[in-house]
Amino acid sequence: MQLTVWTYEGPPHVGAMRIATAMKGVHFVLHAPQGDTYADLLFTMIERRGARPPVTYTTFQARDLGTDTAEIFKTAARDAYERFDPDLMLVGASCTAELIQDDPGGLARALNLPVPTITLELPSYQKKENWGAAETFYQIVRGLATEAPAPKAEGAKPSCNILGATALGFRHRDDVIEITRLLHQLGIEVNVAAPMGATADDIRRLPEADFNVVLYPEIADTAARWLERQYGQKAVRTIPMGFQATCEFVREVAALAGVDPEPLLAQHGSHMPWWARSVDSNYLTGKRVFVFGDATHAMAAARVAKEELGFEVVGLGCYNREFARDVRAVAAQLGVEALITDDYLLVEETVAALQPELVLGTQMERHIAKRLGVPCAVISAPVHVQDFPARYAPVMGFEGANVLFDTWVHPLVMGLEEHLLTMFREDFEFNDAAGPSHLGGHAKVEAAAQPSVPEVARAPVAAADPVQETITVLNWSPEATKELSKIPFFVRGKAKRNTERYAAEQGLEIISLEALYDAKSHFAR
Amino acid sequence: MSDAATLTSPALEARPVLRERGQREVFCGLTGIVWLHRKIQDAFFLVVGSRTCAHLIQSAAGVMVFAEPRFATAIMEERDLAGLVDANEELDRVVDRLLSRRPDIKLLFLVGSCPSEVIKLDLSRAAERLSKKHSPSVRVLNYSGSGIETTFTQGEDACLVALVPEAPVAADDAPASLLVVGTLPDIVEDQFTRLFNQLGIGPVHFFPPRHSQSIPAIGPNTKFLLAQPFLGETARALAERGAQHLPALFPFGAEGTTHWLKAAADAFGIPELHFLAVVAPGRERAKRALEAQKQHLAGKSIFFFPDSQMEPSLARFLARELDMTLIEVGTPYLNRQLLSAEMAYLPEAVTLSEGQDVDRQLDRCRAAKPDLVVCGMGLANPLEREGISTKWSIELVFSPVHGFDCAGDLAGLFARPLYRRSVLKV
């Protein structure tokens, strides 16, 4: 048993729903008890979809157990076929139905419905949402893309598939548009984009493309590997997130397609490199960032943070184990230890201990950052309703690089403002507790979240709550305490920690004003 | 005012009820944790279930409470299914870890789920075992919020049933006291407390209490009012302790609130004139507030999908105090006994439905073309996209809607989508 407060991923059948909902003409019959329909609201509320997910839940109850749950499944499947007339049916079981072992696949076969029907095995007690999505997409591709393509006509344009975009993905809608545009500019046709927007017939046509672009490996890697084995389609695995990665992506697809990437690269039109080089961005240098998300977005974000914004990555991790090895390798290059966990509490402890100046994470890290009073930008699913923007906001491609610059810099206090806050600590109107001046309404929250320094200095705090101070609070002199309070909140935690570490190492009983400044020079970078 | 109890059974028995079975677009009882964990401030809710359960609660909580919530899920994994002995050991380990993290917890609920029920993990024995182990600092109770047994608000009913035995026994000759049963927002409790004080009714206690240490004593001289229509099992458990139920309309709107307060006033022998004098100002305020909302609602038709069991009471309020036309009133479960008073007040020309086959109900809804549909979050946006105004029902459970001073706000929840549609030009 795993003690869980918040989960990064839902169960595998939610992954299957993300595929079914993303596609057209697909219907999913899910053997499930009452209550599992909650998953609909993820799509209708969080993603604001204007249609119900194409899912029929059998809705069995306690009184049905051991009598006729199989019959309930058959009725639901038959009714769903008649009502929705899909081109493809998926059948599977949620966690409770898995325990009663009704065999939805066998029951569906017995119904003999005149429509291709794919049985999903979704082991709820071992696997999670991303795995469920990947497995579902793979089974659909394997089940439908069975025919080798006719030989390609002479002089036909090079073509590729874009694989991996689903419902509920982080910016999938706009990433696909952006990457499609990029490919068109290179003279490459997009044969099929799947699962998002694809029909069963589109899936059948997948083998016709020259190669595959795996935009979201968490979802499309399994299917892409099968297509490669079966039809020799190469897979592009460079994720075009950030300016450099997009350039590398362009070169890689151009090489596969046999086209020249240089004209496009010469006029990419991205503002991001200049925005990063302009003098105003100087204050971004060395900002300490913590990066956490799904492996793909976290790795890409870490690189952008370090090489394209000049931040210092102080922590990197992901919640999915499927690509943990890659994340560990990237973390090692950055000189940090990778945090591979789906335990929200552990992530929170890590962020509290690292004291970053910016958190790049998921909806969960947004909570953590809010609680710790650290600025935060979201880079990965799971996300909430505010991260499905009305405007066009890809995170991939050249426009995506622009979006990353804007969204990551926005939560920070602006450069000159930061200086003024440091210089005039006692101004009653203009102080750090008021939060960045361009982000209104934070004053009270920040003030409450930030324990006032004298209070912290007064007494040791119990270590029961990891978010509270966990290190022993040493004895601060009143002068040093006052001086500490003059350090802006966004670096105060680090200064306090460093000073206490220094004092402990030096065996100081009281932290004096001198000790504070000795520590500062000791840890000067 | 007529005594509701005398109007009861015939009115309901005579009514045809459409009973349906099929896909239900409702939450399971685990969802009640979202409000219960905020109400009882020293209680913690540990769901023993699957990843689906954990995902459900955080999705239903929607906004995701920023502070560390007082609920969590012990997610069962493959090896927990292999043997129940191991599952129990695992549960003990998880509870130990939890309690060491949260020493402020005085009451722990182990909450059963579909998977824990199906594998027959005996949480009542686990609760007994863990109670002994962590006594006296923590009391451990259990109930089931599983979807195979409970629908949405029934989770609160099950939780309160588990809490009833914790109440001290009131002596047979204890003075009469009033118990208000069902989670109410703090502000509503305060409003009702003031009214009961003015009426001269007391002592008044609320159940569940804000702290587990202050569960009121219950005995034969306890009289109780239900604040919510979904607490049938709790009412039964209280009656078994000798407490006396005061049947009434539920306190929604001016009429419902007056009727509900009157039931208490009569039980406590409050003179009629004094009662009228005390309730008059609140009732007038409520009526004035409702008058303002009536312009948006009067004459409009409404269709309820089943959700919280509050539907018949809310429909009565909307029909009688705001002149809305009821098309269909769906409810997950129609508690004939508790709703007898409400039934007598519901207009004749309305389809009552119990249970659900969501696709068929959507067919009926589209055919009826109601002005407003009350439904869950899974259905609201799809119906809006079809051009039908909706009020998502979970807000009715999450907002202060009881009593005189919330009557206008309650009507406002229904009026806002219609008003919004009238102002939007895009």
pLDDT at B1 over 50: no
Mean pLDDT of B54-79: 81
Q: How far apart are CA A315 and CA A335, in angstroms?
A: 9
**What's the pLDDT at B82?**
78
**What's the pLDDT at A415?**
67
The pLDDT tens digits for B262-299 are 999 999 999 999 999 999 999 999 999 999 999 999 99
Superfamily of chain region A451-522: Proto-chlorophyllide reductase 57 kD subunit B (1.10.8.550)
Closest CB to B50 among A6, A79, A95: A95
Alpha carbon A191 to chain centroid, angstroms: 27
Q: Do B66 and A1 touch (CB under 8 A)?
A: no
A300 touches A241 (CB < 8 A): yes
pLDDT at A473 over 80: no
CATH topology assigned to domain B29-150: Rossmann fold (3.40.50)
CB pairs under 8 A between A and B: 193
Active site residue A280: yes
**What's the pLDDT at A479?**
87
The pLDDT tens digits for A64-79 are 987 789 999 999 999 9
- Give the residue on A whose Cα is nearest the Cα of B30: A35
CATH number of A159-266: 3.40.50.1980
Higher pLDDT, A327 or A67: A327
pLDDT at A95 over 50: yes
pLDDT at A422 over 80: no
Q: Which CATH architecture has domain A272-412?
A: 3-Layer(aba) Sandwich (3.40)
Q: What is the DSSP string of B394-407?
A: HHHHHS---SGGGH
Cis peptide before A195 (omega within 30 of 0): yes
**What's the pLDDT at A457?**
32
B351-356 vs B325-331, strand pairing mode: parallel
Q: How far apart are CA B308 and CA A222, in angstroms?
A: 42
Mean pLDDT of A189-206: 98
pLDDT at A472 over 60: no
b/e code A414-432 from CB counts within 10 Å (16+ = b): eeebbeebeeeeeeeeebb
The pLDDT tens digits for B117-168 are 999 999 999 999 999 999 999 999 999 999 999 999 999 999 999 999 999 9
Alpha carbon B239 to chain centroid, angstroms: 19
CATH topology assigned to domain B4-24+285-423: Rossmann fold (3.40.50)
For CATH 3.40.50.1980, list the domain ranges present in chain B: 4-24+285-423, 29-150, 177-277
Mean pLDDT of A92-109: 94
- Look at A9-18, B11-20, B226-235 and tell me which has the smallest mean pLDDT: B11-20
Percent pLDDT > 90 in chain B is 87
Find the farthest-apart pair of alpha carbons in chain B and give their distance in angstroms, rounded: 67
Return the CATH number of B177-277, one of 3.40.50.1980, 3.40.30.10, 1.10.10.10, 3.40.50.620: 3.40.50.1980
pLDDT at A242 over 90: yes
Task: Report the residue of B33, B37, B52 to disrupt the A interface, i.e. the one with the largest count of A CBs within 10 Å.
Answer: B52
- Amino acid (one-letter) located at A150: A
**What's the pLDDT at B12?**
52
The pLDDT tens digits for A245-286 are 999 999 999 999 999 999 999 999 899 999 999 998 998 999
B43-49 vs B139-144, strand pairing mode: unpaired
CATH number of A12-144: 3.40.50.1980
Mean pLDDT of B372-397: 95
For CATH 1.10.8.550, list the domain ranges present in chain A: 451-522
For CATH 3.40.50.1980, list the domain ranges present in chain A: 12-144, 159-266, 272-412
Closest CB to B28 among A3, A34, A99: A34
Q: What does residue B363 show for φ and ψ, rounded to 5 degrees?
A: -60, -45
pLDDT at A463 over 50: no
Higher pLDDT, A253 or A485: A253
**What's the pLDDT at A155?**
86
pLDDT at B327 over 90: yes
Considering only CB atoms, which chain A residues are within 8 Å of B102?
Answer: 464
pLDDT classification of B23: cutoffs 50, 70, 90: very high
Q: Cβ of A487: how many Cβ atoms within 10 Å?
A: 20
Higher pLDDT, B421 or A67: B421
| Residue whose structure tokens are 């594998």 | B119
Q: How far apart are CA A77 and CA A24, in angstroms?
A: 18
Mean pLDDT of chain A: 89
**What's the pLDDT at A66?**
76
pLDDT at B93 over 50: yes
Higher pLDDT, A109 or A426: A109
b/e code B321-352 from CB counts within 10 Å (16+ = b): bbebbbbbbbbbbbbeebbbbbbbbbeeebbb
Closest CB to A96 among B103, B115, B377: B115
pTM recorded for the entire structure: 0.90
Counting every residue written for chain B, the total comes to 426
A192 touches A180 (CB < 8 A): no
Q: How far apart are CA A337 and CA B74, in angstroms?
A: 28
The dihedral of CA B360, B363, B367, B369: what is its sign?
A: positive
Considering only CB atoms, which chain B residues are within 8 Å of A57?
Answer: 23-24
